[in-house]
Amino acid sequence: MTLEAELVTAVGEEFVEIVDENSYRVRPGSPAEVAEVIRRAGSHRAAVHPVGAGGRATDPSADNRPRVFISTRRLDQVLQLDEASLLVHAQAGITGLELERVLGPRGLSIGDYPPVVLTSSLGGIIAVRTPGKSSARHGFFEDAVVGLSAVLADGRTIHTRVAPRRATGPDLARALCGSEGTIGFITDAVLRIHAKPEARLVAAYQLPSVDAAVSAVYLALREEAAPSGLRIYDAVEAKRHFGDGSPIPVGQALLVAATAGPTDLAACDRDLITSAVIAEGGSASDHTLAELWWRRLHAGEPTPGPPPTLQVMATPSKMRAVYHQVVSEMIAKGASARAHISRFDADGAVMFFTMERSGEPIDDSLLTAAEKAAEAAGAWLLGARAHKLDVYLRALRESLDPDRIMNPGTLA
């Protein structure tokens, strides 16, 4: 039987699309169909590439094998909502925003993750790591994954045990999180969700410098404030984002914060941030800036200006050095860099730099210079790999997928 005929048998003709003579795009409607597609693709040693809401497969390798792109688009069902345990069991193809639309009317939410993250399908959010998938209050998105179902290369479907915590060996779901479809094809997940907070408060502060703003944030976090959002802008970035409404003088910084939870706790967290700001020489700033920031983040109002040129992740002790190093490097090369720092969690935060030369975006060589400067100051670049562990990842994959059909070319 040809591969095409096999795929038609697995999912039905209307859900098989010929991309070119050697590759197909299929849209299975159930995990059982995913398993069938992978089993049949495997019998042809065809490469299997998962495709989420973006419609784009990750890094297909360049060899001449037949390819099957498996879209999760029809796997878009919420399977169970356990309101007693605050868990939702949903299929991999539903996007975060679609899921929010189901949860919202019930007073529930996935959590304080940026909506831009939630435009992806659940499978994509879980399978591909980006530093933005984190929040100060709810942590890294993977920490919300309580259980996963996935299809392995041999067509077996696995379901990891759903329990709040356990001590029954390694966390097997975490082998699939971030694995970009190389270990298994994620078909559905059980996620922790949250009741919508009783109160949400926002505030804006002016601080003498970016360094002081970083110090204020960590002072507040040490006092156990658990804000739902925090962002530091340098003065230039504040001006770009808020126009002439920004009262921040050159060299100083703007900090905006949102707190949420029971009213007393949200107020407590806001007060802890305020007192940390005062301790670092800052003061309250225009409240409307914080409201605008929050609307842009969560109500879809556009942020002016081009998207950031460089995103890096930095731990608390490195943030200040990374900021200064990148800015100085750009100035030394006749360009400029401005930044905001956001997505704080236990590991640190993400620094978003926008670089320009003479009002134009910078070229690749300047970007490389900025990346090197950031890395030299201790930042983690996006998509970092622990290459020393590659041999172990390779062996893990070989053991589960001897014919290398699962997203070959990725994490290779």
Please classify residue 137 by burial: count the beta carbons closer than 10 Å to its beta carbon, then call 0-12 exposed, 13-18 middle and 19+ buried: buried
The nearer residue to another protein, 73 or 133, going by C-beta atoms, is: 133
- Is residue 304 within the footprint of another protein (CB under 8 A)? no
Burial (0-12, 13-18, 19+ Cβ within 10 Å), 336: middle
Residue 314 burial class via C-beta count within 10 angstroms: exposed 0-12, middle 13-18, buried 19 and up: buried
Token pair listed for 369: 């210079």
Pick between residue 59 and residue 286 the one whose CB is nearest to another protein. Answer: 59
C-alpha–C-alpha distance, residues 275 and 374, integer Å: 31
CB count in 10 Å sphere of residue 106: 12
- Nearer Cβ to another protein, position 39 or 333? 39
* Alpha carbon distance, N-terminus to C-terminus of the chain: 31
- By the 8 A CB rule, do 338 and 354 touch? yes
Interacting span for another protein (CB under 8 A) from 248-256, 296-304, 313-321, 359-367: 313-321
Give, as ranges, the residues between 130 and 149 that touch another protein (CB under 8 A): 130-134, 140-142, 146
- How near is the Cβ of 251 to another protein at its closest, in Å? 23
Q: Is 113 in the site for another protein (CB under 8 A)?
A: no
323-342 mask for another protein (x: CB under 8 A)? --------------------
The binding track of 179-218 with respect to another protein, each residue x by CB under 8 A or -, is: xx--xx-------x-xx-x--------------------x
Pair type for strands 67-71 and 23-26: parallel
Q: How far apart are CA 160 and CA 168, in angstroms?
A: 11
User: Which of 264, 283, 332, 363 is close enough to bind another protein by CB under 8 A?
Assistant: 264
269 binds another protein (CB under 8 A): yes
Nearer to another protein, 299 or 386 (CB): 386
Which one of residues 2, 20, 64, 169 is an interface residue with another protein (CB under 8 A)?
Answer: 169
Asked whether the beta carbons of 309 and 293 are under 8 A apart, the reply is no
- Scan residues 30-69 and list those touching another protein (CB under 8 A): none
d(CA 370, CA 334): 12
Size of the site for another protein (CB under 8 A): 83
Kindly state whether residue 380 participates in binding another protein, applying the rule CB under 8 A: yes
DSSP label at residue 61:
-
One-letter amino acid for residue 370 of the chain: A
Under rule CB under 8 A, residue 278 binds another protein? no
Binding flag, residue 389, another protein (CB under 8 A): yes
The smaller minimum CB distance to another protein, of residues 271 and 356, is found at 271
Helix (H) or strand (E) holding 148: strand 145-151
Cβ-contact 149, 158 below 8 angstroms: yes
CA dihedral 304, 307, 313, 315 (to 10 degrees): -20
Q: Give me the residues paired with residue 81 across strands.
A: 88
- Residues 74-93 close enough to bind another protein by CB under 8 A: 82, 84-87
Instruction: Determine if 365 is a binding residue for another protein (CB under 8 A).
Output: no
Least Å from the CB of residue 5 to another protein: 28
Contact 275, 262 (CB under 8 A): no
With respect to another protein, which residue has the nearer C-beta, 4 or 271? 271
Q: Which stretch binds another protein (CB under 8 A): 12-20, 61-69, 124-132, 361-369?
A: 124-132
Closest CA to 275 of 223, 334, 340, 318: 223
Interface residue with another protein, options 160, 252, 354, 407 (CB under 8 A): 160
Counting contacts by CB under 8 A, is residue 259 touching another protein?
Answer: no
- Residue 159 in the binding site for another protein (CB under 8 A): yes
Q: Minimal CA–CA distance to 339: which of 362, 316, 319?
A: 319
Using the rule CB under 8 A, give the single segment among 40-48, 66-74, 268-276, 323-331 that binds another protein.
268-276
Minimum distance from CB of 262 to another protein (Å)? 6
